[in-house]
């Protein structure tokens, strides 16, 4: 290694070693170890590699190469070499760490690492991570400093769903000192990341400055914080049962929608928890701290207030007494487009198509007219099948229950003379409906 002694080679010691066997995980499945090359993950990999049962599960290691340090390539080679010694297969995955997320480089690296873990984790597989009791204490303190509630103060769970499988932290009840003793007892080699000494990172500041000071006065501070996190998880589990019941009471048939009146009737603390649980279940980014206060106008009584709360590419909107949650799509297309229907037309993040496509050898205008596709501008009218007079498109879409934000993204189909033929595949004019039946062509809009 260059640039100093980046790999520790301690003298063997026999004091304070960990038990040779770890408790079995809660389910069967292939075992993937997140292996950074540091002390913690080196001990975890060593313990798992000693287990015949884990090897029968298909024990593998995964090293995420962030490329953030000059010695990152050397660290990856160190991990490969140690895995070769332990006879454990290893994959090295390179990731690009976003530098402009607003949450700092440490958080961006963690997000990139977790994305790589999720991508590599097979169906029902188990990702083993080496977080220990000291990490748990630090996480508890960090969450407390962010004014987290019981869910956040519960810190890390030893076992939870992750990606297509599970995340397992078998060392979470053990102090780092026990891991260090085990590494020394077995002569293990590990990497010391110089960034761990940088107190500019909040976690490093707690680890290097705050925790030693607390433990000098209260030697069991780390264990106490970890135990407090466990108590918060127990309280959170009780709350979650009632949250699930409350969410079921305010749901609609569409899991992305809630009844505003039923939600507003809940006590404010329960309502906040239900909103966070709902958003989590829809797979959207977690609600930020300001969300509950800023969502209050959308829940207000009165003549159907409208508006939205947006965050991290997602949005919650209200319309007709319902809250809708979803990702915010890109801006709708506005420039008119000519379309002959032979190939799918990409429009406002969706796709407009006529199926089946016309025969390739037919003249362009033999079976398909030329269409003009554009977005709504207001004032459009359409003559529906079985009707003699035209209707305002706005009223037709309102009667169908199409929310305003969906209406603005609908592709409107016109003939070259400007007659409105269709709004997506939701509304067809009498003329277009007859043409569709006569030709066997069907309009489809996936938006």
Q: Which residues contact 270 (CB under 8 A, 6 or more apart)?
A: 242, 243, 246
- Ligand-binding site membership of 152 (annotated): no
Q: Could you tell me the sign of the dihedral formed by the alpha carbons of 260, 265, 266, 267, in that order?
A: positive
- Ligand-binding site membership of 104 (annotated): no
pLDDT at 273 over 70: yes
CATH code linked to domain 7-223: 3.40.50.620
Q: Do domains 7-223 and 251-327 have the same CATH topology?
A: no
pLDDT at 269: 93
* pLDDT, mean of residues 11-17: 40
Q: CA angle at residue 343 from 340 to 349, to 5 degrees? A: 105
**Alpha carbon 107 to its chain's center:** 14
* pLDDT, mean of residues 348-377: 70
- Residues of the chain with pLDDT > 90, as a percent, come to 55
Distance CA 132, CA 386 (A): 70
Three-state SS for 350? Answer: strand
Query: For the sheet containing 371-374, what is the strand order?
Result: 337-339, 371-374, 412-414, 420-423, 427-428
Domain boundaries, the chain: 7-223, 251-327, 337-446
- Ligand-binding site membership of 36 (annotated): yes
pLDDT at 342: 84
| pLDDT digit string, tens, across residues 219-270 | 999 999 999 999 999 999 999 999 999 999 999 999 999 999 999 999 999 9
- Ligand-binding site membership of 38 (annotated): yes
Distances (CA, A) of 67 to 74, 92, 284, 328, 376: 11, 12, 29, 32, 47
Name the pTM for this structure: 0.68
pLDDT at 16 over 60: no
| pLDDT digit string, tens, across residues 19-28 | 556 777 878 8
| pLDDT digit string, tens, across residues 191-233 | 988 888 888 888 899 999 999 999 999 999 999 999 999 999 9
Evaluate whether 418 touches 370 at the Cβ level (below 8 Å).
no
**Fold topology of 251-327:** Chorismate Mutase Domain, subunit A (1.20.59)
| pLDDT digit string, tens, across residues 287-312 | 888 899 999 888 887 655 667 899 98
- Ligand-binding site membership of 41 (annotated): yes
- Ligand-binding site membership of 401 (annotated): no
């Amino acid at each position: 290694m260059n640039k100093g002694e980046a790999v520790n080679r301690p003298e063997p010691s026999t004091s304070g070693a960990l038990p040779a066997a770890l408790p079995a995980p809660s389910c069967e499945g292939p075992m993937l170890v997140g292996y950074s090359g540091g002390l913690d993950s080196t001990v975890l990999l060593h313990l798992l590699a000693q287990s015949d049962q884990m090897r029968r599960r298909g024990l593998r290691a995964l090293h995420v190469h962030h490329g953030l340090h000059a010695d990152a390539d050397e660290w990856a080679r160190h991990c490969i070499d140690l895995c070769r010694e332990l006879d454990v297969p290893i994959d090295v995955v390179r990731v690009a760490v976003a530098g402009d997320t607003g949450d700092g480089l440490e958080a961006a690296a963690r997000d990139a690492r977790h994305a790589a873990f999720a991508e590599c984790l097979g169906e029902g597989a188990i990702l083993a991570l080496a977080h220990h009791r000291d990490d748990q204490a630090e996480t508890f303190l960090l969450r407390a400093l962010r004014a987290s509630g019981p869910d956040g103060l519960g810190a890390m769970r030893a076992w939870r769903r992750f990606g297509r499988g599970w995340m397992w932290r078998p060392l979470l009840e053990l102090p780092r000192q026990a891991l260090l003793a085990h590494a020394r007892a077995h002569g293990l080699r590990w990497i010391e990341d110089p960034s761990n000494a940088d107190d500019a990172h909040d976690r490093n500041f707690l680890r290097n400055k705050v925790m030693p000071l607390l433990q000098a006065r209260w030697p069991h501070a780390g264990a106490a914080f970890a135990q407090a996190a466990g108590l918060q998880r127990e309280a959170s589990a009780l709350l979650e049962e009632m949250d699930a019941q409350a969410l079921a009471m305010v749901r609609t048939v569409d899991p992305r929608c809630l009844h505003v009146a039923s939600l507003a009737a809940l006590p404010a603390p329960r309502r906040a928890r239900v909103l966070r649980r709902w958003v989590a279940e829809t797979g959207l980014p977690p609600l930020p701290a300001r969300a509950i206060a800023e969502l209050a106008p959308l829940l207000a009584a009165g003549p159907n207030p409208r508006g939205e709360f947006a965050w991290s590419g997602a949005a919650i909107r209200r319309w007709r007494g319902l809250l809708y949650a979803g990702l915010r799509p890109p801006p709708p297309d506005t420039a008119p487009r000519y379309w002959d229907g032979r190939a799918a037309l990409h429009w406002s993040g969706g796709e407009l198509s006529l199926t089946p496509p016309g025969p390739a050898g037919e003249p362009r205008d033999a079976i398909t007219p030329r269409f003009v596709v554009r977005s709504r501008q207001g004032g459009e009218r359409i003559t529906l099948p079985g009707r003699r007079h035209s209707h305002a498109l706005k009223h037709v879409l309102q009667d169908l229950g199409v929310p305003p934000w969906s209406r603005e993204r609908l592709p409107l189909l016109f003939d070259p003379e400007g007659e409105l033929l269709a709004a997506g595949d939701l509304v067809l004019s009498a003329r277009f409906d007859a043409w569709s039946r006569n030709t066997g062509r069907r309009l489809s809009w996936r938006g």
